[in-house]
Amino acid sequence: MTGSRCPQAFACRDGGVVASGLRWACAGLIVTMVISVFGGCASTGPADPGGRDIVTASDETDIDRRARTRFQLAVAYYSQGQLETALDEVKQAIAVKPDFAAAFNLRGLIYSNMGRDQLADESFSHALQLDPRDADAMHNYGWFHCQAGRYDVAEQLFERALKVPGYRTPARTLLAQGVCQVKANRLADGERTLMRSFELDPSNSATSAHLAELFYRRGEFERARFYVRRALANSPPGDASTLWLAARIERKLGNRRGADQYGSTLRQRYPQSREAIAYEQGRFDE
């Protein structure tokens, strides 16, 4: 993704809490893709309202099988952060099946993680030309534009994804949309959108963490405490950014003992993190 070059697209963040802004979830929390798209696999795409027959394994051509195999290898390498190998595999999938929309979506994710923004843009755009109803590609393309500061374009793509009939993971897109709205300084919109995401999926620690940071930023420390505790409960013992946020919230509420408990966990688990260093130096108000 532009601006947040994550080596492991399904697991990392861009460094957690920034001194004066919100944490940014990396692709593992926000970006998605269709993992399986041919017969014999459980598709994560929307149901076809047109009444066409469901494609099963026996309907696959040899070309479909070869492309699917390459695509699944590309997904596996991508999830492990092996971007060049993933790119090579997805190129081979596209060579076998040039109209493979999900492969172009994945190619966009790979290029964006490599910092090749023009190629990423072209890939996402082509994926949607091939399949205009691909909500996953809309989601990814929206996040790509958000990271580049093109908030209006991102908003349109997120809204399009949410309107696709049968879209199965609206909470994830609402999370991305809410984070993007906050980045655009649309705090009220961001709160509403993040709360919608939370209502749909209250177990998502990323949503709770973003809400906690938003309320901390607005000085609503009791509300921030509620959501940061939810984040830590759903993903114990928490990453460095969430532990540091929890320590700062307790400090603001006058609970120095609680702040020190979170700070101690932060130092023990992430001693070299910038959050642990900030805690050691007492930089709670940055």
Q: How far apart are CA 142 and CA 181, in angstroms?
A: 12
Q: 13: helix, coil or strand?
A: strand
Q: What is the token pair recorded at 247?
A: 């320590």
Q: How far apart are CA 99 and CA 78, in angstroms?
A: 21
139 Cβ neighbours under 8 A, 6+ residues apart: 31, 32, 157, 158, 161, 172, 173, 176
15 Cβ neighbours under 8 A, 6+ residues apart: 241, 274
pLDDT at 210: 97
pLDDT at 60: 78
Contact 172, 136 (CB under 8 A): no
Q: How far apart are CA 41 and CA 9, in angstroms?
A: 22
pLDDT tens digits, residue range 206-229?
999 999 999 999 999 999 999 999
Q: How far apart are CA 252 and CA 218, in angstroms?
A: 12
pLDDT at 173: 96
What rounded mean pLDDT belongs to the chain?
84
Higher pLDDT among residues 230 and 15, named by residue: 230
Q: How far apart are CA 271 and CA 266, in angstroms?
A: 7
pLDDT tens digits, residue range 49-105?
445 567 676 777 889 999 999 999 999 999 999 999 999 999 999 999 999 999 999
Domains of the chain and CATH, by start: 1-168 (1.25.40.10)
Contact 23, 17 (CB under 8 A): yes
pTM: 0.82
Higher pLDDT among residues 34 and 191, named by residue: 191
Distance, CA of 161 to chain centre: 14
pLDDT at 48: 47
Mean pLDDT to the nearest integer, 31-35 = 46
* Model confidence at 16: pLDDT above 60: no
Mean pLDDT to the nearest integer, 34-58 = 46
CA triple 121-102-32, angle to 5 deg? 75
pLDDT tens digits, residue range 148-182?
999 999 999 999 999 999 999 999 999 999 999 99
Mean pLDDT to the nearest integer, 183-198 = 97
Contact 119, 90 (CB under 8 A): no
Contact 105, 34 (CB under 8 A): yes
